[in-house]
């Protein structure tokens, strides 16, 4: 799967490069990361023994500015998967006009198997291996799947120690006390809802009559659900890795999260209004969720969930790609033919990196931003990027994805030249 993900991401780039008529020397430089670090992280475990973990940092391209991208801790982390995600970061930062290039990192680990102390030693060990090649103006990591503000705090502390001075702009997604920014936690989901509102305006979707299903109920899925619910949209199903729930009259995400915290999973949390009751809903699988008759489908979990096998069965009219790479290229051609409109990941989920940029600025200037300012500036940047993509797609009669990649790749290619 990860190798396939990289090949797909590369294929997508090559398709646009051909369309843009890019010179072969530019294609050579962009089809692979500029640098990929692959290293061992020996960690002393609580039982006194050393265990060796494997880490990666992929630096795809820095023509527009320092590399930027998260570090994920997951058993499925692989070199190819990290390479693909770093390439997507280059396009994403370019599309929304940030002065950053693309990077990504990861460690092959199930973090649930480590104690807090072991996790801290692993995180500090990661920084020890990459520290000469990262920094506020070189490569700025952030949290990703299974990493969080605490891990960024350990990492930034380790980096600052190695450099002999406090450098909070070396990482983003940090706790507020370490120059973290208000609004970062909800930024990606919030940004997705800005896109949802844009679609609503264009296609005259009335929130109370518009149904949504959301795959993934982690950081992105939850906040997307929460803000969409606040705007009056009707969320009829959500899911997590173990499966999902369906509530025909619409569910309340905050109640569902509270219920999940008690039960440990969302199965059985059928919460409508302010009440959770089993008679409100039914269990559904992730497969069923993707194929439900609904207005908007929001994949917010993992890559490659909409494939050529299930694309013919998707009944949603609109897809907002909140996960990275949730739709395969083959699935996309099927969806395009079926006139299902899909908002590409590099636009839909860019809210997180935009607010990371604000955090980077704040950490450099040591001047705190108010949350209102964060969310207003985020809306302005994402709204403008959406309009540009939509205008180009209308003008050239191409998909939103093609238009987004066209704008993003063109800008990076010009910078290289």
> Minimum distance from CB of 313 to ligand NAD (Å)?
17
Binding site for ligand NAD (CB under 6 A): 144-146, 188, 215-221, 239-241, 286, 300-302, 322-324, 349, 352
Beta carbon nearer to ligand NAD, 22 or 74: 74
Residue 164 Cβ, how far from ligand NAD at the closest point, in Å? 31
Nearest residue (CB) to ligand NAD, 63 versus 324: 324
CB of 399 to ligand NAD, least distance (A): 20
104 labelled catalytic: yes
CB of 145 to ligand NAD, least distance (A): 5
61 or 147: CB nearest ligand NAD:
147
Tell me how far apart the alpha carbons of residues 30 and 10 are, in angstroms, rounded to a whole number: 9
Residue nearest ligand NAD by beta-carbon distance: 218
CB nearer to ligand NAD: give 95 or 300.
300
Q: Which residue has the tokens 């083959």?
A: 330
CA distance linking residue 50 with residue 46, whole number of Å: 9
Number of H helices, E strands in the chain: 14, 14
- Burial category of 346 from C-beta neighbours within 10 Å (exposed 0-12, middle 13-18, buried 19 and up): buried
Rounded least distance, CB 221 to ligand NAD, Å:
6
CA dist 91 → 12, 101, 336, 401 (Å): 11, 8, 21, 11
Residues 6+ apart with CB under 8 A from 252: 229, 271, 272, 273, 274
Dihedral angle over CA of 351, 240, 283, 200, nearest 10: 10
Q: Cβ closer to ligand NAD: 343 or 413?
A: 343
- Compute the distance between CA of residue 305 and CA of residue 238 in angstroms, rounded to an integer: 15
Of the candidates 104, 182, 234, 402, the residue annotated as catalytic is 104
| Rg over CA atoms, the chain | 21
The residues that are catalytic are: 104
């Amino acid at each position: 799967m990860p190798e396939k993900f990289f090949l797909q991401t590369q294929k997508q780039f090559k398709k646009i490069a051909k369309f843009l008529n890019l010179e072969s020397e530019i294609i050579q430089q962009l089809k692979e990361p500029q640098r990929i670090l692959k290293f061992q992280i020996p960690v002393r475990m609580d039982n006194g023994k050393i265990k060796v973990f494997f880490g990666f940092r992929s630096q795809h391209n820095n023509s527009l500015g320092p590399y930027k991208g998260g570090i994920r801790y997951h058993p499925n982390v692989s070199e190819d998967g990290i390479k693909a995600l770093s390439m997507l970061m280059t396009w994403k930062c370019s599309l929304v006009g940030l002065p950053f290039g693309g990077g990504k990192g990861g460690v092959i680990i199930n973090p649930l198997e480590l104690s807090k102390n072991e996790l801290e030693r692993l995180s500090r060990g990661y920084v020890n291996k990459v520290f000469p090649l990262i920094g506020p103006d070189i490569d700025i990591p952030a949290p990703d799947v299974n990493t969080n503000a605490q891990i960024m705090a350990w990492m930034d502390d380790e980096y600052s120690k190695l450099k002999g001075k406090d450098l909070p702009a070396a990482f983003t997604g940090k706790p507020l006390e370490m120059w973290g920014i208000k609004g970062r936690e909800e930024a990606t989901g919030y940004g997705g809802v800005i896109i949802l509102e844009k679609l609503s305006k264009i296609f005259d979707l009335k929130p109370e009559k518009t149904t949504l299903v959301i795959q993934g109920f982690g950081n992105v899925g939850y906040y997307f659900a929460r803000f969409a619910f606040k705007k009056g949209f009707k969320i009829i199903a959500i899911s997590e890795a173990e499966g999902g729930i369906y509530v025909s009259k619409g569910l309340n995400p905050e109640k569902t999260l509270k219920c999940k915290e008690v039960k440990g999973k969302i199965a059985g949390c059928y919460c409508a209004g302010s009440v959770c009751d089993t008679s409100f809903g039914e269990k559904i699988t992730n497969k069923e969720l993707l194929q439900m008759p609904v207005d908007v489908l929001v994949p917010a979990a993992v890559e490659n969930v909409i494939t050529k096998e299930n694309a013919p069965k998707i009944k949603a009219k609109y897809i907002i790609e909140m996960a990275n790479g949730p739709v395969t290229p083959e699935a996309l051609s099927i969806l395009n033919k079926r006139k299902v409109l899909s908002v590409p990941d590099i636009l839909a989920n860019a809210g997180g990196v935009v607010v990371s940029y604000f955090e980077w600025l704040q950490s450099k200037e040591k001047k705190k931003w108010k949350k209102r300012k964060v969310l207003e500036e985020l809306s302005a940047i994402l709204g403008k990027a959406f309009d540009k993509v939509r205008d180009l797609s209308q003008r050239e009669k191409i998909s939103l994805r093609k238009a987004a990649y066209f704008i993003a790749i063109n800008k990076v290619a010009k910078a290289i030249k």
